[in-house]
Amino acid sequence: MADVSEAVQDERLKQEGFATKLMKRPELGALAGVVAVTIFFLFTASDTMFTLSGVMNFMTPAAQLGILAIGAAMLMIGGEFDLSIGSMVAFSGLIFGAFVVTFGMPLVIAIPATFAIAAALGALNGTIVLKTGLPSFIVTLAFLFILRGASLVGLKIATGGSTQLRGVRDAVENDFLTPVFSGDAFTGLFAWLAKQEMIDRFSSGMPKVPGIPVEILWFVAFALIATYVLLRTPQGNWIFASGGDENAASNSGVPVRRVKISLFVLTACCATLVAIITVIDAGSTDARRGFMKEFEAIIAAVIGGCLLTGGYGSAIGAFFGAIIFGMVTIGLTYTTIDQDWFQVFLGAMLLAAVLFNNFIRKRVTGER
């Protein structure tokens, strides 16, 4: 009996090796992808790609996609999909543009109002999914078309026939909240660095990179907050539990319904944040804003380690997945490679990520 007891105790106290723990990390594939893509461009791209200016060039689109991807990743961990994210970018852009241009609202009112409308639509998405039991794939696919069509019709109504609403930049130019959602941060610091000749500058002495685009700061902050929530809070445990086994989670006291609806609200708000940032930067909004971003966000989340079956994934993985997108999208312009290869890259990365994640899942669960 003593031998049996000792064997059981030894099994319970058994420590996993570093390599085993590393293989179980969902963001491993995305991190490896960043390294591989970086090495590829070090050999194929011009030297300017990895200068400060070049890094800002590919991090800006990565940040915009990454905000969507992190929201999509958290929803996927919770066991659901949202294919309406891209259309929500266009619809929120319409609402926001109409508020500031047509109705002349200050940002302190227009921004919360836009988020409130988006949150209500996200909650509607989640409620329909949970009430009807329909797959979220189908429900949000329907909303993809509904919101895209509403954006097109709404723009025509707001502009008298055009599919583009202009005048946003003029409307918000002097608003005290504009620098929070547009432009560059730390401009004083970058000017000082240029003066000290620590970064590249023009002959006039002005820095070639005036600061850090604010969307990058939003992206990094959101990734850190999402990672903290997933790994260090009860709400994070609820998200993993809801996606892993909904019935077991519900029987254990997890408010599955509330968790999933809140995640649909989160994805809608992520799309709205991207809409506000891009509309202010561009000074206008149009019906094609956010086109195909729902698929790119999901691909970035999958590359980041999210399983299509739910219950497994990482916000940091989606962070790295979005950076891969940004590097390839902009990096190809620094090479002689035809940019249309980007589509091939998307499909190859998605397939590789699914195969890798499936392999990891089997290692984690012990399946054969």
For residue range 116-171, list pLDDT tens digits in order: 999 999 999 999 999 999 999 999 999 999 999 999 999 999 888 888 999 999 99
Q: Is residue 92 part of a domain?
A: yes
Q: Does residue 3 lie in a domain region? A: no
> For residue 312, what are the domain limits?
26-365
Report the pLDDT value the prediction gives residue 11, as an integer from 0 to 100.
47
Asked whether 110 and 99 are in contact (CB, 8 A), the reply is: yes
Find the helix packing angle between 85-97 and 293-303, rounded to 10°: 130
Own/partner pairs for 230-238, CB < 8 Å, 24+ apart?
A: 230/74, 230/77, 230/314, 230/315, 235/259
HEC per residue, 200-224: CECCCCCECCCCEEHHHHHHHHHHH
What is the model's pLDDT at position 340?
A: 82
Is residue 368 predicted with pLDDT exceeding 60? no
Residue-level pLDDT at 18: 55
Q: Which of 314, 307, 349, 313 is nearest to 328 (CA)?
A: 349
The answer to whether residue 1 is domain-embedded is no
In-domain check, residue 196: yes
In whole angstroms, give the CA distance from residue 170 to residue 172.
6
CA distance 5 to 244: 32
Confidence (pLDDT) at 31: 86
- Which pLDDT tens digit goes with each residue over 32-63? 888 888 998 999 999 899 999 999 999 999 99
Burial class (CB in 10 A: 0-12, 13-18, 19+), 283: middle
Which of 7-16, 274-283, 358-367 is most confident? 274-283
With respect to residue 143, please indicate whether it lies within any of the assigned structural domains. Answer: yes
Q: Are 293 and 92 in contact (CB under 8 A)?
A: no
| pLDDT tens figures, 226-257 | 999 999 999 999 999 999 889 999 999 999 99
Residue 4 lies in a domain: no
Q: Which residues pair with 184 in a beta bridge?
A: 213
Give residue 360's pLDDT band: very low, low, confident or very high (50, 70, 90): low
Task: For the chain, give the longest Cα–Cα distance.
Answer: 86
Q: Which residues contact 326 (CB under 8 A, 6 or more apart)?
A: 58, 59, 60, 61, 62, 63, 65, 66
12 pLDDT tier (thresholds 50, 70, 90): very low
Q: Calculate what percentage of the chain has a pLDDT beyond 70.
A: 90
Each residue's pLDDT tens digit, 162-202: 889 999 999 999 999 999 999 999 999 999 999 988 998 88
Instruction: Kindly report the CATH number assigned to the domain that includes residue 163.
Output: 1.10.3470
* In the predicted structure, residue 3 carries a pLDDT above the cut 80: no
Sign of CA dihedral 124, 126, 131, 133: positive
| Of residues 309 and 98, more confidently modeled | 98
3-state secondary structure the chain: CHHHHHHHHHHHCCCCCHHHHHHCCCCHHHHHHHHHHHHHHHHHCCHHHHCHHHHHHHHHHHHHHHHHHHHHHHHHHCCCCCCCHHHHHHHHHHHHHHHHHHCCCCHHHHHHHHHHHHHHHHHHHHHHHHHHCCCHHHHHHHHHHHHHHHHHHHHHHHHCCCCEEECHHHHHCCCCCHHHHCCEECHHHHHHHHHCCCCCECCCCCECCCCEEHHHHHHHHHHHHHHHHHHHCHHHHHHHHHHHCHHHHHHCCCCHHHHHHHHHHHHHHHHHHHHHHHHHHHCEEECCCCCCHHHHHHHHHHHCCCCCCCCCCCHHHHHHHHHHHHHHHHHHHHCCCCCCHHHHHHHHHHHHHHHHHHHHHHHHHCCC
Give pTM, 2 decimals: 0.92
Judge whether residue 312 has pLDDT over 80.
yes
Domain count, the chain: 1
Tokens (6 digits) for 279: 């509309």
Percent of the chain with pLDDT over 90: 68
Q: 212-213 and 184-185: which strand pairing?
A: antiparallel
- Please compute, for residue 215, the number of CA atoms within 13 A of its CA located in the half-sphere on the CB side: 27
Residue 70 lies in a domain: yes
Query: Is residue 21, in this structure, part of any structural domain at all?
Result: no
What is the C-alpha to C-alpha distance for residues 281 and 283, in angstroms, rounded to an integer?
6
